[in-house]
Structure 1
Amino acid sequence: MNPATTLAVSALRAADRVSPSLAGRLALPLFRQVRPVLPVRPSDRAVHADAEGGTITVRGREVVTYSWGRGPETVLVVHGWRGRASQFGPIVRELRAEGFRVVSFDAPANGASAGRHTDIRDYLAGIEAMQRRHGMFSLVIGHSFGALATLTAVRDGTATGGVVAIAGMGDARYLVDSFADRVGIGHASADVLAREFSRRVLPDVAEPFVRVDAVSNPLPDAVPLLLVHDRADREVAVAESLRLHDAHGGRSRLVLTEGAGHARVLGADATLDAVTAFALGGLAGVDAVGLGERSVPAASA
């Protein structure tokens, strides 16, 4: 953490000891913090430079878009919090080689898109704008927070033949609770943070955390789900993908990697093999390559 963030966390902990209400309110700006911008990794520069660039308008702001390939079927990839589209470089290379067109965007305040703030409304609006431009997606692939946004968007009506959630979480409340654990504030302060976040981000939704909950409200029955997660992920616990897998039953497959972590899982061999198999053959394709678990592994649950 930088010195300013360290000071803010210390103030939060002090407030938590005397007033959870104050601590929850003070936590909101830190919880919503997006900066610093993630740079393009050296290994992804070639894919990043090879993209056809463009823009869309997301809630009144101009957002940078990317497109790779000219195939008849289109895959949308959605990056996570403090992420960028170029992180999907290995997946882009694999899917282009199989004849797919891959499209993406950098959410406001992420990657090459301007701004200081973003939230799930921007992600959902970005996905909607990309669908208006490109039509139905063969797949939508989301990473981390982008996976949660993808699951929400598809439940809201985004048309796709399948969803891939990589290192994703099952619901938005997980984000609040994991943040509270990281900064060292208690459950009461986390509850206040959740209420403040709801009022700020989804003020017109009666039960915002229910809307952004893919465990209690799974994907439509016709949409298959591929889940990929590293067992040792320190950012999002693997238990989140286990919950999602259990909630979706027989139309879900789960691939667990070892040692790839939260971000590098995007380029893991098992990830690339599973995503490619799913893109080409759906759940049967994943089964054919012998990667996906049909039920929750007892040893990992």
Structure 2
Amino acid sequence: MASFGLKVIRGLFGLGERLAPGVSGRIAFELFCRTPDANRPTDGERRAIERARDFMAEARHHRLKTQTGCVAVHEFRPEPGRARAGTVLVVHGWRSRTEFMRVLIEGFREAGYRVVSLDLPGHGQSTGRRLHLVRAVEAVRLTADWFGPFAAVVGHSFGGAVAANAIAGSVRATAPVAADRLVLIAAPSSLQMVFDGFSRALNVGPRSSREMARKVERIAGRPLGDFVGSRQLREAKVATLVIHARDDKEVPTDHAEDYASAGDHVHLHWADGLGHRRILTDRAVARRAVAFVSDVASPSAGLLRAAG
């Protein structure tokens, strides 16, 4: 059952659609971009952050200045005795942070990679309370300027969409990020579908939604409908592994299948039973990602398209 607050918001957007759709659309876009307060985690998030305290202490911590604040970048060196295999950039999803990417980061460190993990604006130790795709891609580009090029970029959920757009160079005046491999975990492929879901949840009407789309085009330099994963991966031609669970309740399987339709350079692996967030803590998923990045031409990697 919807909360009283949600019912009020839905009612206000319904009224705005009738009386002032331009204003309603702009307010909806700002609400869409509003990030959770990183200083007020849930009990579960607080426990995860506490468990990762020693892990985070092993990193070198950097702060990169942006036009709107600072982003935190955490640099994890390979484990002692491991040969350095290159640098992997890890990008978390919405309402997430570096601590929640621990299993993936450890997997790549154990394989000899330096791992650079970015806290997106409004998340973790980065500043701000506002985030959209363009600002996220700009943060990835800035991180690449300091720490790239990358052997791979690995993104979960929203971070996967950010990674795909960063590599494809989808955002106006932001150069593509160089990477040999791309790993997308539970990632949405269509920005339009994400906006549609948001609009349905908050009762944002069609005229207000069109104003949201115009806002995206003004910021990003291209129409909302251009931000589709299969199109980006067809343009980028980077060897890509898509990992998704059929029981993911936040990002439907249609998104994974869209990415996979981009061509033979995209490999799809089903990790069923792991949902949207448990997939991040599964060590078999981490091993699959590391194996793909380490040797995309290996026999095991070649089977990934049919796996699952």
* TM-score bin, normalised by smaller chain: 0.7 to 0.9
| Aligned 1:146-225 pairs, distance under 5 A | 146-156=159-169, 157-199=176-218, 201-202=219-220, 205=221, 207-209=222-224, 212-220=227-235, 222-225=237-240
Pair 1:9-2:28 in alignment: no
Contact 2:245–2:274 (CA<8 Å) still a contact in 1? Answer: yes
- What letter matches 2:254 in structure 1? A
Gaps of 5+ in 1: none
The residue that corresponds to 1:284 in the other structure is: 298
Whole-Å Cα distance in 2 between the matches of residues 49 and 234 of structure 1?
33
Partner of 2:305: 293
- Secondary structure of residue in 2 paired with 1:225: strand
- Range with greater deviation from structure 2 (87-96 or 5-14): 5-14
Equivalent residue runs for 1:66-85 within 5 Å = 66-70=74-78, 71-85=84-98
Instruction: Encode CA deviations 1:80-120: one digit per residue, 9 max, x unaligned.
Output: 22221222100011111111110012122111112121222
1:52 and 2:87 matched: no
1:245 maps to 260
* SS of aligned partner of 2:13: helix
* Structure 1 residue aligned with 2:113: 100
RMSD (Å) for aligned C-alpha atoms: 2.6
Give aligned-pair identity as a percent.
25
Q: Is the 8 A contact 2:156 2:185 kept in 1?
A: yes
Partner residue of 2:172? none
Residues 277-286 or 38-47, more deviating:
38-47
Return 5+ residue gaps in structure 2 as ranges.
79-83, 170-175
How big is each residue's C-alpha offset from its partner over 1:218-252, in whole Å with a ceiling of 9 and x where there is no partner?
A: 255651010011112122112101111012x2111
Q: Tell me the TM-score normalised to structure 1 length.
A: 0.85
The alpha-carbon distance between structure 1 residues 100 and 217, as it changes in their structure 2 partners (threshold 3 A), is closer
Moved more, 189-198 or 157-166: 189-198
CA offset at residue 211 of structure 1? 5.0
* Aligned 8 A contact 1:12 1:26 in 2: no
CA distance in 2, matches of 1:159, 1:114: 26
Q: TM-score, normalised by structure 2?
A: 0.83
1-structure distance, mates of 2:136, 2:299: 29
Q: Which stretch of the first structure deviates more once superposed, 145-154 or 260-269? A: 260-269
